[in-house]
Amino acid sequence: MSTLLIIALVLAVSALIIFVVGYNKLRGADVRVAEALSGIDVELTRRASLIPSLVHTVQTFAAHEKGILDHVTNARAALTSATSSTSVAQRSAAEKDLDSALTPLLALGQNYPQLNSSNNFLNLQENLTDSENKLAFARQYYNDSVATLNRMVTTIPWMFVAPLTGVSEREYYRL
């Protein structure tokens, strides 16, 4: 009888240890995903903060390109709004819209040689390129973190612990 009690006790302690380890692993992975998404938001905000200066610089050389400038301004506002939402898809869509708005704005340098030779414009282009590189890294880190979390949530034994922790699969960042 005491052997049966010892076996039951060992099984109960083992189950508790597995639950605690699983809980900590899943919550840790969930926190890493949240941190990674925050990193994307930081880079999106950094990039968005460059836009007013870029618009102002272009405006001084190409004031009659109002449609392009308005599109960039509206896309920046949408991106700023999206970074405060919880939807990864909304962030991604707003970022794509800003990218499509920036392309013709940056291409104006070809039409306005004095703009292309402006140190301010060149510096802003360099900062945007730097932001793009950091943003690409942040997106990759986020997607790697999501892959790790999703793998844990869908594999044994963690898939049995996940519902108890409130951790579920997350969506990937897509452009």
147 pLDDT more than 90: yes
CATH placement of domain 22-165: 1.20.1440.20
- Check residue 148 and give its pLDDT: 95
pLDDT at 113 over 80: no
- 128, 54 contact by CB (below 8 A): yes
pLDDT, the chain, mean:
88
Q: Are 67 and 117 in contact (CB under 8 A)?
A: no
Q: Which residue has the tokens 């840790």?
A: 28
Other CB atoms within 10 Å distance of the CB of residue 140: 12
Q: Is the pLDDT of residue 121 over 90?
A: no
The more confidently predicted of residues 2 and 60 is 2
Between 4-13, 42-51, 110-119, the lowest mean confidence (pLDDT) is in 110-119
Secondary structure element (H or E) that encloses residue 118, with its range: none
Q: How many CA atoms lie within 13 A of 73 on its CB side?
A: 12
Output b/e per residue, 84-112; b: 16+ Cβ within 10 A.
eeeebebbbbbbebbeebbeebbebbeee
- The H or E element that residue 64 is part of is none
Identify residue 75 by its one-letter amino acid code. Answer: A
Please state, in angstroms and rounded to a whole number, the distance separating the CA atoms of residues 85 and 75: 16
What does the pLDDT average to over 73-91?
Answer: 86
Task: Please tell me the predicted confidence (pLDDT) of residue 61.
Answer: 76
Closest C-alpha among 67, 4, 62, 29 to residue 150:
29
> Looking at residues 11-38, what average pLDDT do you find?
92
Instruction: State residue 108's pLDDT score.
Output: 78
Residues 6+ apart with CB under 8 A from 165: 22, 23, 26, 27, 30
Rounded Cα distance, 104 and 133, in Å = 20
State residue 32's pLDDT score: 96
Structure tokens at 89: 């898809």
